[in-house]
Amino acid sequence: MMNLNPVLTIALPLILAFTKIMYRRIANLFLIVGSLINIFVVVFLKEGQYLMGGYRPPFGIILQVDTYALYSLLVLNVLFAALMLLVTKKAENLTSSSLIALAALNGLILTGDLFNLFVFLEIATIAALILVSSIKKYHQAFNYMVAGAIGSTFYLLGLGLLYKQYGTLNMARMHELMAASPSGSAVAVILIFIGLAVEIKLMPFSSWAAGVLKNADEWIGPMIGAIYGGVMMIVVGRLFTDIFVMDAKVRLMLSLLTLITLVGGEAAAFQSRKVREVLLYSGVAQAGLEALLILNGYPAIGFILVLSNMTAKYVMFLLAGYMAEEAGGDDFDRLTGVFRSNPVHGFAFTVAGLSLAGLPLFFGFIVKLNLLYNLMLSHSYWLPALILSASLVEGIYMLRMILGLWRLPEGHRGGLQVRILGSSHRRKYAVYTISMVLSLALILFGLAPDNALSIARRARGADTDGKPLVLITMKGGIGQ
Amino acid sequence: MKKIFVLGLMLLLVIGIYQLAVYDPLHERTMAFEDRDSQAYLDRSVNGDPGEVVFGKSTNLEDGAANTVAAIVVDYRSFDTLGEVTVLFISSLGVAFLSGGFGKTIRLKHKPGFVLRYGARFVFGIILVFGAYMFLHGHITPGGGFPGGAIIAASALVLSLAGEISGEKMKAFKILEGAAGTLYVLTGIVGLYMAGFFMQNVLPSGIVGHLFSAGIMPLIYLLIGLKVGSELTGILDYFLREEVES
Amino acid sequence: MMELLSLSLLFLGIYGLVTKHHILKMIVSLNVMETGLNLFITTLGYQEGQIAPILSSQFPSSALNFVDPLPQSLVLTSIVIGVGTTAVALAYAIKIFKDHGCLDLEKIEGRL
């Protein structure tokens, strides 16, 4: 077996992005080849810690590949490559930005250093800004930029305070020191959480997401709504379970923020009458739920929820973007019956939606069932009650939307005659294949969930000897 | 009303953060400087203790730069710097994308006179040499690739104010930018396959304080300087074109 | 004292970002905020009486009392990132001005 260095998943897209300036003609080829090579590299990755520049861990920067990073990378790179295959035409002018976004997202998942994380966060944000500006809503993009800048300022402020107190930037070393003396780090941890809350769209800081995603096309929607949101949540999962040690008060404070998001997001989604708005607010609510689980000690289920939601939202945003483009808008009224003429898309959309809402037979259901079971076992009742009612609301509006899109409009015979992607055959079948494969994957995992759950447990260290790699193979340190 | 509320909130945050996390008169919650990770950078003792490092005498250190900040930026934490260069690269791409790229020509509002044109050519060379000095000496004295690149961009700004920069020259800058970036990543990959670690210093590190010391550091600073210089020049150029067109 | 001043600068910048709706003023606030942050991080590595972390013929030995070099190099990175963000923000400002004819975010959002 080959043993590839994970830095290649960052370095190769960067090289392609830098050289692309000189070869403008074959930009698309660069993009597709780059994202496919990345999948190949990820498949051959081995777990372990990889040093940069040959300097020992707490001093040099490291990349860490553990089960958590490995599966996150796999999902990220597959979804990214699929998206790039679909939207090559639109991505033509933004090849370099897309490649750099891919490198930064890989870096966010891999890095084992808190300041390096900040650098990748900034690259990812600026890349996202440029991608977002392709939908030509510049003042919304400007709002996103301001929110992102405030977020990263808070992150760096918190990081500075942590450095002042613990004198290190390495994640594993930080965890050791924090576990030894957690006093006084609360302010820094809260600042960092607020900084990341902008990116994962928690409620008081998520107004930018509404502006950007309301107008998202089939490219920006999956990219910002699903891939970016998912990766940022994976980062939060890493930081707030493996690295930071919080006391109960801080945990409660941050949990309140996520609860507000969960309730507010579901309410906003319930009121909305537009497909993309429903999706985006349900995404916000789901982000609240995921962060709630991560903060309150259910990281394994949180992880699996992040990945499944990422896939489901990806499919839905993709199809919603195409529908809005073909029908010239995404009101429910305008799109009534659109799936009658596009049954395959309808099927994929339905599966993803039902899985997102957590209905039986789909992957989301298994996740939520597991979650409720675990919560009941640990004798906490307010959390399951809240999650159940949120799921109920989500199920209602999701079903309402999906049924509306299948139902025959009054006065029409054969349904709305909008063909999603009637123009190009090749792209039509590509959309068919990708959305079908992903939604079938959701069903498949829904029918046989044991594997996924055990992987998630291994990744998040619920079993005794399955601790995340970042904490067990810590080498070096000041004393050694 | 809103403004007063926000101002009060900000005041509260400042005082709160200062009181809870910064103000620490007895140094109970501040890690002493000697215990911080950065002490190892000062002693050059990350991978083994070399003893006291003396300027002009110590040889074959793990990092042979006299300037410790430069040693951290380009050697110990070189990976961050790659990210930093990428940030500049992508923002120059973003400016290019938003302003619609080349095609428009600069028409200055003023007509550059004789003194401006020839003066600009004269000053251009001097500024350029100073920028090059900045990044070639970055590992010994304060300075380095980023300020050096900014100075080079300033020299290009002088030229374009005198109306001397054409589209072809900008195209050359673009190629320089791409090539420098690619070479930077390639140096990293050379380190990976020659020495085992990405961005490892593969050249001998020499005597502290000499011009030819610190292994690949001067080389990397050269690449960074060229890249930053051409990127900032590109950004300036886009803004100049933009101004005239509207 | 330096810490308090730089923190005030930082939150002054955020105050400007929250209350102003003229885009150029917001960009200026953004820069004030970044400057405050950079100053704050630099102060974390400073104690009185320590010297700049550069070996030279005047300060030739690593046994001398240097300031903490790591915050300085972090600030170097963060300054460059700030430059990039500002450039993109200014490009947005030009684009918004072309689209709407004004730079007041409240007016623009009210008109849409």
Report how many helices (DSSP H) and strands (DSSP E) chain C contains, helices first.
Answer: 4, 0
Q: Is the pLDDT of residue C35 over 90?
A: yes
Distance, CA of A377 to chain centre: 29
The values of phi and psi at residue B207, to 5°, are -95, 135
Distance, CA of B100 to chain centre: 26
Any bridge partners for residue B198, and if so which? A52
Per DSSP, A63 falls in state: E
The minimal CB distance from B175 to the residues A22, A163, A183 is found for: A22
Lowest mean pLDDT among A18-32, A303-317, A388-402, B184-198: A18-32
Query: Mean of the pLDDT values across residues B103-113?
Result: 66
pLDDT of residue B167: 65
Query: Mean of the pLDDT values across residues B130-144?
Result: 84
Q: Is the dihedral of CA C90, C95, C100, C105 positive or negative?
A: negative
Confidence of residue A318 (pLDDT cuts 50, 70, 90): confident
Contacts with B110 (C-beta within 8 Å, 6 or more apart), sequence order: none
Rg (CA), chain A: 22
Confidence of residue C25 (pLDDT cuts 50, 70, 90): very high
Residue with tokens 């001397």: B164
The range of the structural domain enclosing residue B17 comes to 2-30
How confident is the model over B75-96, as pLDDT tens digits?
888 888 889 889 988 988 888 8
Measure C58 CA to nearest chain A CA, in Å.
Answer: 28
Q: Is the pLDDT of residue B242 over 80?
A: no
Gap between the Cα atoms of C112 and C99, Å rounded: 12
Q: Is residue B85 part of a domain?
A: yes
Beta strands in A175-274 (DSSP E): none
Residue with tokens 């597959």: A78
Q: Is the pLDDT of residue C111 over 70?
A: no
CB A322 within 8 A of CB A299: no
How confident is the model over A183-197, as pLDDT tens digits?
767 888 999 999 999
The minimal CB distance from A160 to the residues C14, C40, C96 is found for: C40
Q: Is the pLDDT of residue A420 over 60?
A: no
Please give the angle made by the CA atoms of B224, B133 and B64, to the nearest 5 degrees.
70
Gap between the Cα atoms of A119 and C77, Å rounded: 8
Residues of chain A with Cβ-Cβ distance to C33 below 8 Å are: 149-150, 153
B202 interfaces chain A, CB cutoff of 8 Å: no
Query: Mean of the pLDDT values across residues C14-27?
Result: 90
**Do residues B77 and B17 both lie within one domain?**
no
Q: Is the pLDDT of residue A381 over 80?
A: no
CB C90 within 8 A of CB C26: no
The minimal CB distance from A156 to the residues C70, C78, C88 is found for: C78
Q: Is the dihedral of CA B101, A17, A428, A408 positive or negative?
A: negative
Q: Is residue B56 part of a domain?
A: no
Confidence of residue A156 (pLDDT cuts 50, 70, 90): very high
% of chain A with per-residue pLDDT over 90: 11
Gap between the Cα atoms of A245 and A174, Å rounded: 10
Most confident of A20-24, B36-40, B89-93, B195-199: B89-93
CB A103 within 8 A of CB A13: yes
Q: Is the pLDDT of residue A230 over 70?
A: yes
pLDDT of residue B115: 86
Gap between the Cα atoms of B95 and B21, Å rounded: 38
| Structural domain spans, chain A | 8-465
Q: In 3-state terms, what secondary structure has residue A160? A: helix
User: Best residue in B24, B34, B37 to probe A by mutation, most A CBs within 10 Å?
Assistant: B37
Gap between the Cα atoms of B129 and B178, Å rounded: 22
Residues of chain A with Cβ-Cβ distance to C17 below 8 Å are: 146, 149-150
A44 interfaces chain C, CB cutoff of 8 Å: no
B46 to A55: CB separation less than 8 angstroms, yes or no: yes
The string of DSSP letters for A360-372 reads TTSHHHHHHHHHH
Query: Mean of the pLDDT values across residues A88-99?
Result: 80
**Do residues B95 and B24 both lie within one domain?**
no
Q: Is the pLDDT of residue A394 over 80?
A: yes
Among 3.30.420.240, 3.20.20.140, 2.60.120.590, 1.10.287.3510, name the CATH number for the domain at C2-46+68-111.
1.10.287.3510
Subunit partners of chain B (3 or more CB pairs within 8 A): A, C
User: Best residue in A4, A5, A14, A176 to probe B by mutation, most B CBs within 10 Å?
Assistant: A14
The minimal CB distance from A18 to the residues B94, B178, B197 is found for: B178
The minimal CB distance from A160 to the residues C41, C84, C108 is found for: C41
How far CA A200 is from CA of A275, B77, C85, in Å, comes to 21, 28, 20
CB A199 within 8 A of CB A151: yes
Residue with tokens 């590595």: C45
How many CA atoms does the CB half-sphere of A316 hold within 13 Å? 31
pLDDT of residue C60: 79
B198 to A18: CB separation less than 8 angstroms, yes or no: no
Who wins on pLDDT, A444 or B9? B9
Gap between the Cα atoms of A174 and A144, Å rounded: 31
B146 interfaces chain A, CB cutoff of 8 Å: no
Q: Which pair of structure tokens corresponds to residue C27?
A: 């960009």
Q: In 3-state terms, what secondary structure has residue C32? A: helix
Q: Which pair of structure tokens corresponds to residue A32?
A: 């597709």
A187 interfaces chain C, CB cutoff of 8 Å: no
C92 to A156: CB separation less than 8 angstroms, yes or no: no
Subunit partners of chain C (3 or more CB pairs within 8 A): A, B
**Inter-helix orientation angle A363-377/A299-327, to 10°:** 150
Residues of chain B with Cβ-Cβ distance to A96 below 8 Å are: 89-90, 93
Q: Is the pLDDT of residue B245 over 50?
A: no
Gap between the Cα atoms of A375 and A360, Å rounded: 19
Measure A116 CA to nearest chain B CA, in Å.
Answer: 6
Query: Mean of the pLDDT values across residues A112-139?
Result: 89
CB C66 within 8 A of CB C53: yes
**Do residues B22 and B144 both lie within one domain?**
no
Stretch 14-53 of chain C: residues touching chain B, C-beta under 8 Å: 14-15, 18-19, 45, 47, 52-53
Which amino acid is it at A259? L
Q: Which pair of structure tokens corresponds to residue A180?
A: 């030894």
C70 to A139: CB separation less than 8 angstroms, yes or no: no
How confident is the model over C41-52, as pLDDT tens digits?
998 888 888 888
Q: Which pair of structure tokens corresponds to residue C28?
A: 């200026």
Confidence of residue A155 (pLDDT cuts 50, 70, 90): very high
CA-nearest residue to C1 within chain B is B23
How confident is the model over A42-87, as pLDDT tens digits?
888 887 788 887 787 788 888 888 888 888 898 899 888 888 888 7
Stretch 173-192 of chain B: residues touching chain A, C-beta under 8 Å: 174-175, 177-179, 181-182, 185-186, 188-189, 191-192
Residues of chain B with Cβ-Cβ distance to C88 below 8 Å are: 91, 94-95, 98
Confidence of residue A425 (pLDDT cuts 50, 70, 90): low
pLDDT of residue A107: 92
CA-nearest residue to A174 within chain B is B37
Confidence of residue C33 (pLDDT cuts 50, 70, 90): very high
pLDDT of residue C24: 92
Per DSSP, A203 falls in state: G
| B48 C-beta neighbours (distance < 10 Å), count | 9
Measure C45 CA to nearest chain A CA, in Å.
Answer: 8
Q: Is A436 exposed, middle or buried (0-12, 13-18, 19+ CB in 10 A)?
A: middle
% of chain A with per-residue pLDDT over 70: 87
Distance, CA of B89 to chain centre: 12
Which amino acid is it at A288? G
pLDDT of residue A426: 62
Contacts with A369 (C-beta within 8 Å, 6 or more apart), sequence order: none
B47 to A54: CB separation less than 8 angstroms, yes or no: yes
How confident is the model over A10-52, as pLDDT tens digits?
888 888 888 877 776 777 788 888 888 888 888 888 877 888 8
Confidence of residue B37 (pLDDT cuts 50, 70, 90): confident
**Do residues B150 and B222 both lie within one domain?**
yes
| Structural domain spans, chain C | 2-46+68-111
**Do residues B122 and B15 both lie within one domain?**
no
How far CA A259 is from CA of A151, A263, A281, A290, in Å, comes to 20, 6, 14, 10
pLDDT of residue C40: 92
Averaged pLDDT score across all residues of chain A = 80
How many CA atoms does the CB half-sphere of B239 hold within 13 Å? 17
Q: In 3-state terms, what secondary structure has residue A448? A: coil
Contacts with B171 (C-beta within 8 Å, 6 or more apart), sequence order: B102
How confident is the model over C81-94, as pLDDT tens digits?
999 999 999 988 88
Measure B141 CA to nearest chain A CA, in Å.
Answer: 23
Distance, CA of A398 to chain centre: 20
Q: Which pair of structure tokens corresponds to residue B32?
A: 């002493």
Measure C97 CA to nearest chain B CA, in Å.
Answer: 10
Gap between the Cα atoms of A362 and A442, Å rounded: 6
Query: Mean of the pLDDT values across residues B226-241?
Result: 84
Closest CA to A108 of A128, A92, A82, A88: A128
How far CA A463 is from CA of A2, A260, A295, A460, B67, in Å, comes to 29, 31, 18, 8, 47
Measure B107 CA to nearest chain A CA, in Å.
Answer: 26
Which amino acid is it at B171? K
The minimal CB distance from C54 to the residues B6, B68, B73 is found for: B68
C92 to A122: CB separation less than 8 angstroms, yes or no: no
Q: How many CB pairs under 8 A join B and C?
A: 139
Gap between the Cα atoms of A237 and B20, Å rounded: 26
CB C87 within 8 A of CB B95: yes
C80 interfaces chain B, CB cutoff of 8 Å: yes
A15 interfaces chain C, CB cutoff of 8 Å: no
